[in-house]
Amino acid sequence: MLHQDVQAETKARPNARKQGSEEAGRTTEELHALYRQMIVIRYTEEQLARSHQMGLIHGACHTYVGEEAIASGVCAHLRADDAVFSTHRGHGHALAKGVSPREVIAELFGRVTGCSQGRGGSMHLFKPEIGLMGTSGIVGPCILQAAGAGYSFKLLRSDKVGVAFFGDGAVNNGAFHEGLNLASIWKLPALFVCENNQYATEVPFAYAAGNPNVGNRGPIYGMESVTVDGNDVLAVYEAAREAVARARAGEGPTLLECRTYRTRAHSEGMRDAGYRTQEEVEEWKTRDPIKRFHQWLLENQEADAETLAAIDAEIKATVEEAAEFARNSPWPEPDTVSDHIFS
Ligand SMILES: Cc1ncc(C[n+]2csc(CCOP(=O)(O)OP(=O)(O)O)c2C)c(N)n1
C-alpha cells in the first residue's frame, strides 16, 4: 500500500505534475463546471455570513470559505446515488452534491423550503434522494457512516461509493481508526476525505497530533492514500478521480488528505484571534483556491476573462435571489412540531 504525497513532490519538483488538460483527459466543460461550483459555494457562504450578521440565521454557521476546491473536486466524480456524509462545516458538501443555494439558505433561515424543512439548520442538511446523507455537528461519526454505506453497497453488488468529509479534528478520534480499519479489511468502496485546515476550532493540528500527517496513516491501515494541496482544485480532482474509480472497481477504499485553510473564523460571530496571526491568515488568502484556478484558466487559455466574469455575475444573481426566496419563505407550522420524530 502506498502513500503518495503529491504536495511534497510538487514542491520539490515544481513541474512534476504539470499536465495539459488534453493529456489529463479533462474537457473545457469540466473545468468550467469546477470553477462554477467553487463560485456557487463562495457566494453562498458570503451571503450566509452577511445573513448571520443580520440575525437571519438561528444557531451556528461554520463557513467553508477557502476550502471550496475540495468539495468541488471530489463531488465532480460522484453520482446522485453515491452517499456523502459530512460535518459541521458542510454547506460546501451539500452544494457540491447538488443541493441548491435556495434549499441551503432557506434551511439556515429555518424555513420550510429548506432541504431539511427548516428543522435542521446549518449542521443538519439532508437530501438523501441525491445522496446527501447528512451533515452533522458530532465530529467523527461520518467516517463510520461512510464505511457503513460502503458495506451496504458492497453487499448489494453495486458500484456506488460512500464518501466521508471530515476535518483534522476527527483523525485522533476512535471513529477514524475503526472506520478506516473496517473499510480496509472488507475492501469497501469508500473514500475518506480529510480536510486538513490545520486547526480544530483553536487547537493547532501540530499540537494535537503525535503524527501531524494524515495521509501517511493510510498504509498503516493497509489502504492507498494521497496527500494533495487542497487549495489546488485540479490536484483534488485528479486524486479523487482515481480514488472513486478504485472504489467503483471493487479495489477498496482510499484516504485523501487535502491540506487547506479556513480564512474566516471557526464559526460566524466567533472571535478569531489569539490562536493564529493575522499575517498567517493573509498569507493563506494569497493561496485562495478560486483566485488560483481563475488565473490557471486564463493562463492555459481554457477560459477568457469575459466568460469567467459572466459566470460570476450569473451566480451572484442566483445566490441573491436564493436569499430573497429564503427570506420570503414560511416558517414551519407550530402544529407540525412532532412530525418526522421517531422513538
Ligand atoms: C465528538 C465531538 N467532540 C467535540 C466537539 C466540539 N467541536 C466542534 S467543532 C470542533 C473542531 C473540529 O475541527 P475539525 O474536525 O478539524 O474541523 P474544522 O472545524 O477545522 O473544519 C470540535 C472539537 C464535537 N462537535 N463533537
pLDDT in tens, 235-250: 999 999 999 999 999 9
Q: Where are any strands of DSSP class E within 233-336? A: 254-259
Q: Which residue's CA lies nearest to atom 7 of ligand 1?
A: 139
Q: What is the mean pLDDT of residues 35-49?
A: 98
Residue 17 has pLDDT above 80, yes or no: no
pLDDT in tens, 190-212: 999 999 999 999 999 999 999 99
Give me the pLDDT at residue 18, please: 60
Cell 477504499 found at = 253
Give me the pLDDT at residue 16, please: 61
Q: Which of 294, 288, 239 is nearest to 7 (CA)?
A: 239
All structural domains of the chain: 27-262+281-329 (3.40.50.970)
Q: Which atom of ligand 1 is nearest to the CA of 166?
A: 15
pLDDT in tens, 66-80: 999 999 999 999 999
Q: Which of 252, 193, 208 is nearest to 72 (CA)?
A: 193
Residue 20 has pLDDT above 70, yes or no: no
Q: Supply angle C-alpha 157, 162, 168, rounded to 5.
A: 155
- Which of 14-23, 272-281, 282-291, 301-310 bottoms out in mean pLDDT, i.e. has the lowest? 14-23
Give me the pLDDT at residue 37, please: 98
Sequence-separated (6 or more) residues with CB below 8 Å from residue 336 = none
Q: Report whether 309 contacts 315 (CB < 8 A).
A: no
Phi, psi of 171 (to 5 degrees): -85, -5
Q: Which residue's CA lies nearest to atom 20 of ligand 1?
A: 200
Q: Which atom of ligand 1 is nearest to the CA of 205?
A: 16
Give me the pLDDT at residue 25, please: 77
Q: Which residue's CA lies nearest to atom 4 of ligand 1?
A: 139
Residues in the chain: 343
What are the pocket residues of ligand 1 if the criterion is a CB atom closer than 6 Å to any ligand atom?
A: 88-89, 137-140, 167-170, 197, 199-201, 266
Q: Which residue's CA lies nearest to atom 11 of ligand 1?
A: 200
Residue 1 has pLDDT above 80, yes or no: no
The pTM of the whole model exceeds 0.95: yes
Give me the pLDDT at residue 10, please: 83
Could you tell me how far CA 116 lies from the centroid of its own chain? 19
Q: How many Cα atoms sit within 13 Å of 85 on the Cβ side?
A: 22
Residue 145 has pLDDT above 80, yes or no: yes
